[in-house]
Structure 1
């Protein structure tokens, strides 16, 4: 069976920026020896080696359809003649270009789209809770990469193609009540197939324990843009330190406030980043909020285990792998009540949920877990149990294989 994967990056590489679960899934499927895999993704230059096709294109993050890319996909489909086409994500117009080509050549019924998130939904939430001057303000970095308002408009443009993509396919993989509802709202005739995602290997073999963590520490794995909700986390932590002055908020990923060094470094600061810096200074949190920078798989696993609390503060998530990793390790978890998060957390049983903008309630739950101390291991045990059921490797492989078989015979 010939299977074509369309991805945003090389699925065979365990990228330092994340995606180790993706390469793990790919290797597991290839090991079955029942499939001949082909991979296509955008890159800096045109390349072709073995069964891998890299298209030089800015299409990955563009908000416009490149007709030349559609023609190239047509040629690729004619060469491969795939039995199954697995499109990973609707968020970029590269995916829609392939769907257009497949429809023209009669392959559209061979497509299954793996739902990751929705650009149109991100656009609706992107500016939430931000003041007017932050939404519309521009620093030198924003002239090149875009400010909050222009980024929202890019999401809106890509979202229009995203909706059209879903109207032109028949099969999707999803895994939350939220993505099911949104898929059906766009195209009621879609065949929705439940399919979980694997985690990176490290997270199946470690376990959190209170006695080994750093008390009164909260970890956020990523917060580099407004959807991650760092502005509300700062407000929440201003409440937390009133009771626990030594509390730490540790933020992984690209630092939104980085502006040290020479001129070249300072101009990388976005208007949103400047807003966060000013909030931190306003509430005297410079010693409480620490930006860790990008972390590899080993480092992030270690950071989870050292933390007293894991926090997912996004204004929108579908099925956060970071949330899954934290819960599988058993880290006491708090998440905003948005998107697919309620499918993961049973409030008060294996974690806590709070309304995204309610920073005082968020502070209350952070303090609650701090004060549970060893009793937080009750949350930990329940969290691990629910997560191991969700991320069972063999079950996920069977779900994918079943759908591949159905599509191959269409």
Structure 2
């Protein structure tokens, strides 16, 4: 069976073509592809549109054909390759990208050309964040499967979290990102309208697929995790007392400001509390606001911004923390939460999006209402003071996560969908 994948982020084979190392995103697809290649009747072509490519390129690595195509949106292409240009220029480029989101429609013909060239039995589009799946409009004879990652049409509604309107214009990069998401959601809705077959893994994504296309066929397809997390195990004896860990990106809806406010509450009675934040939190824009918030609450000595963390560092931080926290206002099935659960770390998360499909309150983790820093603080305090509860949540959460992300189950679900759609 010849399967053509469209992916949002370059995979190792793509990065090899331009002499770069793979970024932190998309590793679950690498694991999935590796497992699928064990079945000899599969042949894969993996296509990625990205600003790292200056021209169409194609290479074969480990019996997989990787195809790279240049970013169709010129502003996004320049932003991806600005290489040290001032942050003002970068912001202008991103704002330009936001206002030319409709240009992504022009890329549809390029996707169709690739599909016609390789003549796949099936096209599998990973995510609706790029317009790949619009190619279905011009390829009605080719089966398409669109698997859900996030749904921008919903994310945009929660983008600003609890930030007042008067504050939003202070962050031009966030405003550009939001405007791009707002405009692209029109295209995303067309993707849901013109496609029939979707794959997902939470009650939330299924509900929104059916909201936008009541005639859709939905396949339950899980995600694989890296062996680094499946093979590692959290133990309370190795955890540093009072330590909390989270990973994030500098966006308002990630809710890091809510977690910092919760730390300020806990600090009043728990002087040993310590928060470590992994992820690209810089020194400008929303990142600067997070740093200033921590300083203004007198938390400079107990809120640590780690910056970029690789896989081994994430595993180490998870092993050393007492609690993992996900404070987002919207997510589908965040890999960061799944990885923490797979290791058995006691988890506290906001009740948002697809998270209730991952955490059952009091059984596999604890939940709090989005934006409620006081309740979040109490949930953290409860876990830190009740070792028996923490141990039970650790064991149950790990067991459920391993069953959910077990490789044979994920591959079986995907193979079933491929077979149903192709008859092969």
Q: Does 1:48 align with 2:40?
A: no
State the distance in 1 between where 2:317 and 2:72 align.
35
The question of whether the paired residues in 1 share the 8 Å contact of 2:12 and 2:22 is answered with: no
Q: 1:69 to 1:16 in 2, by over 3 A?
A: closer
Deviation at 1:4, TM superposition (A): 0.2
Deviation at 1:211, TM superposition (A): 0.7
Matched with 2:147 is 114
Aligned mate of 1:198, from 224, 231, 234? 224
State the distance in 2 between where 1:80 and 1:18 align.
26
Q: 1:316 to 1:118 in 2, by over 3 A?
A: same
State the distance in 2 between where 1:87 and 1:238 align.
43
What are the residue-to-residue correspondences of 1:52-71 with 2, within 5 Å? 52-59=66-73, 63-66=101-104, 68-71=106-109
Q: Which moved more, 1:63-72 or 1:379-388?
A: 63-72
Q: RMSD between aligned alpha carbons?
A: 1.8
Superposition TM-score, scaled by structure 1 size: 0.90
Matched with 1:340 is 354
Deviation at 1:389, TM superposition (A): 1.3
Secondary structure of 2:39's partner? coil
Q: Does 1:24 align with 2:31?
A: yes
The question of whether the paired residues in 2 share the 8 Å contact of 1:134 and 1:275 is answered with: no
The question of whether the paired residues in 1 share the 8 Å contact of 2:8 and 2:49 is answered with: yes
Matched with 2:18 is none
What are the residue-to-residue correspondences of 1:53-92 with 2, within 5 Å? 53-59=67-73, 63-66=101-104, 68-92=106-130
Matched with 1:153 is 179
State the distance in 2 between where 1:361 and 1:66 align.
42
The question of whether the paired residues in 2 share the 8 Å contact of 1:211 and 1:374 is answered with: no
Superposition TM-score, scaled by structure 2 size: 0.87
Matched with 1:34 is 41
Secondary structure of 2:47's partner? strand
Q: Deviations over 1:293-345 (max 9, x none)?
A: 11111111111111100001110010111111111111010000000111111
What are the residue-to-residue correspondences of 1:250-265 with 2, within 5 Å? 250-255=276-281, 258-259=282-283
Deviation at 1:67, TM superposition (A): 5.2
State the distance in 2 between where 1:56 and 1:74 align.
15
Secondary structure of 1:42's partner? strand
State the distance in 1 between where 2:2 and 2:37 align.
11
Q: Which moved more, 1:47-56 or 1:391-400?
A: 47-56
Secondary structure of 2:322's partner? strand
What are the residue-to-residue correspondences of 1:317-328 with 2, within 5 Å? 317-328=331-342
Deviation at 1:346, TM superposition (A): 1.0
Relative contact order: is structure 1 or structure 2 higher (C-alpha 8 Å, sep ≥ 6)? 1
Structure 1 alignment gaps of length 5 or more: 260-268
Matched with 1:407 is 421
Q: Does 1:298 align with 2:335?
A: no
Secondary structure of 2:195's partner? coil
Secondary structure of 2:218's partner? strand
State the distance in 1 between where 2:330 and 2:271 align.
30
The question of whether the paired residues in 2 share the 8 Å contact of 1:318 and 1:339 is answered with: yes
Q: 1:278 to 1:250 in 2, by over 3 A?
A: same
State the distance in 2 between where 1:212 and 1:17 align.
26
Matched with 1:277 is 291
State the distance in 1 between where 2:318 and 2:35 align.
26
Q: Does 1:394 align with 2:408?
A: yes
Q: Does 1:5 align with 2:9?
A: no
State the distance in 2 between where 1:353 and 1:131 align.
25
Secondary structure of 1:214's partner? coil
State the distance in 2 between where 1:395 and 1:234 align.
38
The question of whether the paired residues in 2 share the 8 Å contact of 1:210 and 1:374 is answered with: no
Q: Which moved more, 1:40-49 or 1:371-380?
A: 371-380
Q: Which moved more, 1:275-284 or 1:164-173?
A: 275-284
Aligned length: 386
State the distance in 2 between where 1:58 and 1:293 align.
30
